[in-house]
Structures are given as C-alpha cells and as structure tokens.
Structure 1
Amino acid sequence: MPDDEFLSRLRRFNTDYFPQYQARFKDLVEQGQRPSTLFIGCSDSRLVPYLLTGAGPGDLFLVRNVGAFVPPYDGMLNKKPEAGGHGQEREPHWVGLHGTAAAIEYAVLTLKVEHIIVCGHSHCGGIRALYDEQPEEAPNLRAWLELGREAALPVQLSSEALRRTEERSVVLQLERLMDYPMVRARVERGEISLHGWHYVIEAGEVHVFDVKSGSFVPASKAEHSGNGPYLAHPEDGGGPAERQR
C-alpha cells in the first residue's frame, strides 16, 4: 500500500468515521474503558475481530499474536508431547515473560472482563509452522511456536490435520487460561466465561467449542457461543483437550 494511501485513510477516519462516534469516544476518555470481553486472536490479517463480533469502540480488549497462543502463567512450559507425538520430549523449561500474559492479568484484575475469547482460524500460518522448520534468523518465532507444540499431531501435514491442529490449539489455550489463578477463580464463581472459537475464513462462519461434547459446532447450529463454565468432566477421564486428541 502506498504511503499516501495511509495518509488518505487517516484523514478519512478523522472526517468521516470519527464524527459518527465522537460522543462514544468522549465518554471512553472521560469514564475510561470498560470492555466486557478480552479477545485473544491470531495476528492474521484475515481475522477481523470487530467484524466477527459486531463490536464497537470500547467493547473489546484485544490481544493478538502468532497463533493466538496463551503463555503459561508461571512462565514454565512443562507439558511434554505424548509418546510418539510430534516433536521431541523436553524437560520443563522457562519460556519467559510475555505481553499476552500481562494483558490477561490486566483484563481480568483491572478491567474485570466477563468474557475471554480465544479465536483461532482456518489456514493459520502459525499453526502450519508447527510442522515446518523455521529459519535460524527467527529465534523469537521458534521459541514462540513452542507454545503450540502440544497441539501438533504425529502425522504428515494435510488440510484435515491442519484443521484439527488449529482446533486442538484453541482448546490448549483455554486450558492454559485455567492455569491463571485469577481466571480459574472467576470462572468457577461464574464471573467469567471462556469461549473457544475457530473461524473458518472461506465459510464466513465461526465454530464454537462445546465443552460438554468436546467438539466445535458451527455458530449457525450451536446453542451457545462457547461459554463455560470451562470445567473438566471426571467421568470421561479428563478435560476437553483429552477429547480433542
């Protein structure tokens, strides 16, 4: 996109868009932001949270990163791949501090959001990268992808395997969220609902994760938007991620 086009768009925002929402922006400045929802989504340019949710200014607290991953609360990645799984088994190791983790804490403790959405999508380059070697010049990307490694399947990559991995990754991130003490406590008290979404770009439809069935259901057929409470079901031998394997 030419630089001048950016300037034209900035001017159009000021002259065309802003006047329609000026009162709303004034309120958000004077009263502060009060978003009800933390949206954790992939950085992919085809994922547009405001279009998906119909949200307006001040409605969503947005966090976007490669793959829509959630770092572990304590900074330790200590889950090993299953025997015969994709990748090498590793001892627990420190993965560092991340802005995504800080945003989760801020959204829950300061903004007091009522919903947390983890939104993956079809044809995700970040998930596909779990099956490929990454260049040595990208040490940060290589390290970041470890946060999704557990979702990878011990198979050759195919469109079906990619879709399944994308869905498994969403569930993995929901599980990680439940390891954040402030999130778990509020979910168990019914103050926060967790939502797992998989946006199918080519269909223009979001598939929502149903905790009880352990599956993703098209929004056109779903009975809810994927809200919890997100709790494990002892009778089936594990939480929802186990049923996604």
Structure 2
Amino acid sequence: MSDELLTRLRRFNTDYFPQYQAQFKDLVDQGQHPTTLFIGCSDSRLVPYMLTGAGPGELFMVRNVGAFVPPYDGSSGLHGTAAAIEYAVLALHVQHIIVCGHSHCGGIRALYGEVPPEATNLKSWLELGREATLPVQLSDEALRRTEERSVVLQLERLMDYPMVRSRVEAGQIALHGWHCVIEAGEVNVFDVNLGRFVPASSAEHSGTGPYRAHAEEPGALFNEIDDAWAPKA
C-alpha cells in the first residue's frame, strides 16, 4: 500500500511551505493573533480556509460533529469546544465568532434516525442539536431547515457564555451564523432582522451581530427558535 499521507507531507515541505515561510516565521516570533473563531462541522466537505479566503494565522478553529456548542455550565469538566471558545475570547481576543453548518449534514440527519449502539459518545453529543429538530418526517426541506435552526441554536448557546455575552453587548465581538450549501458553492448568512438566512451573494452583511441589545420581549435572542424574536412588522 502506498503511503499517500507521507507523500503529501513531503509536498507541503517542498512545494507549499517555502511560499509562506516568512509568514510562518513571523507567526512564531510574534505569536498568533487570529481575528475569528470558526466553529464548524467536522464534515470533510466543509473547507473553512476556502470559504473565507483566510491564510495562516487568521482563523482559530474548532470542529465537531454538527458544529454544536455545548451549554455553558461554569464547571471544570473536560470539554474541548468550550475550552476553545474560552481561549479564543479570553486569550486571543477574537472579534468574530462564526458558527457554520452545511447542507447534507450527517450529524443533523442522525437526529432523525438511529445511532449505532457502540457510538455512545455520539448519541449523547447529538442531543445538543435535538431542540432544532422539526416534528415532521425527514425530507430534504426538513433537513435544510433543521441545519439552519441548529446554527441559530448554537448562537443562542454562545450567548450563555459570560465572556461572550459581555463582549457582544459591548460591541467587541460579532456573532455570525452561516449555512454552507456545498453543492451550490453558496454560503447563506443569518439575518436576525429578516428572521432568515440570506445568500451571501445578495446579503448586505456577513451576518454580523445577530443580537439585539435591548429585548422588547423576554425570550431567546434569535428568532428561528423563539417567536418572541420574530421581526416586527
């Protein structure tokens, strides 16, 4: 069996790295200063650097099944995603947090089906998306809507992190909800004022700051989940 991974590692060293050697050296000497935390699904078809056009040192990334954000509970339990959020905000001082879901997401689809009994961790993890599911039979439309609803649900959870909420309210961090339609090469961004996702090709912004500083009614912050935040006529 040929060792394709070794071939690719050597290609990185000989072909790719020389083009960016000075930049990598600067990132080592000066440290990393990414402006954006990208929380994305682990799906291999989602390529954050291609979506954003970012280079080395620009994105701090955490990826997991479904692009889920675990609830903030203030405990000292072990959780990689929660730790990454805290580090990005408190140590790296990021200015943007993106939650990026995508079309044909296997993790979201699994919410409507069975999980192998051996996958005990996966079964528990998927419950983080349960609130986004719809009381309907799974269809392409239901899957898309659930993927979008899940992105907004994760934005709501981010606002339960005290260090995130305080900086969003102070205008120091903007939250962005994205849904990448893989087959179309389009990213839809969540517009809280419209209450829906809008194609980036026609959007007025990148989903910046889907948060209202002063609630007119009690309820969730993002109107895909709570009707209290539906746009006013």
TM-score by length of 2: 0.92
Equivalent residue, structure 2, for 1:205: 186
Equivalent residue, structure 2, for 1:6: 5
Give the residue type in structure 2 aligned to 1:209.
F
Cα shift readout 1:58-97 (whole Å, capped 9, x = no counterpart): 0000100000000001079xxxxxxxxxxxxxxxxxxx64
- Whole-angstrom distance in 2 between the partners of 1:37 and 1:230: 18
User: Is it true that 1:40 corresponds to 2:39 in the alignment?
Assistant: yes
Shift of 1:237: 6.4
Equivalent residue, structure 1, for 2:51: 52
Question: Per the alignment, do residues 174 and 162 of structure 1 end up closer, same or farther by CA in structure 2, a change over 3 Å counting?
Answer: same
Equivalent residue, structure 1, for 2:139: 158
Count of residues in correspondence between the two structures: 225
Q: Percent identity at matched positions?
A: 80
Q: 5+ residue gaps in structure 1?
A: 77-95
Query: Is the CA contact (8 Å cut-off) linking 1:121 and 1:166 kept in structure 2?
Result: yes
Name the SS for the 1:33 alignment partner. coil
Shift of 1:98: 1.6
Name the SS for the 1:160 alignment partner. helix
- Whole-angstrom distance in 2 between the partners of 1:137 and 1:143: 12
- Whole-angstrom distance in 2 between the partners of 1:142 and 1:104: 23
Name the SS for the 2:3 alignment partner. helix
Equivalent residue, structure 1, for 2:160: 179
Alignment of 1:214-229 (within 5 A): 214-228=195-209
Equivalent residue, structure 2, for 1:91: none
- Whole-angstrom distance in 2 between the partners of 1:236 and 1:214: 16
Question: Per the alignment, do residues 115 and 3 of structure 1 end up closer, same or farther by CA in structure 2, a change over 3 Å counting?
Answer: farther
Question: Per the alignment, do residues 123 and 233 of structure 1 end up closer, same or farther by CA in structure 2, a change over 3 Å counting?
Answer: farther
Query: Is the CA contact (8 Å cut-off) linking 1:187 and 1:229 kept in structure 2?
Result: no
Cα shift readout 1:171-227 (whole Å, capped 9, x = no counterpart): 000000000000000000000000000000111000000011111000011000001
- Whole-angstrom distance in 2 between the partners of 1:231 and 1:179: 15
Equivalent residue, structure 1, for 2:128: 147
Give the residue type in structure 1 aligned to 2:180.
Y
Name the SS for the 1:131 alignment partner. coil
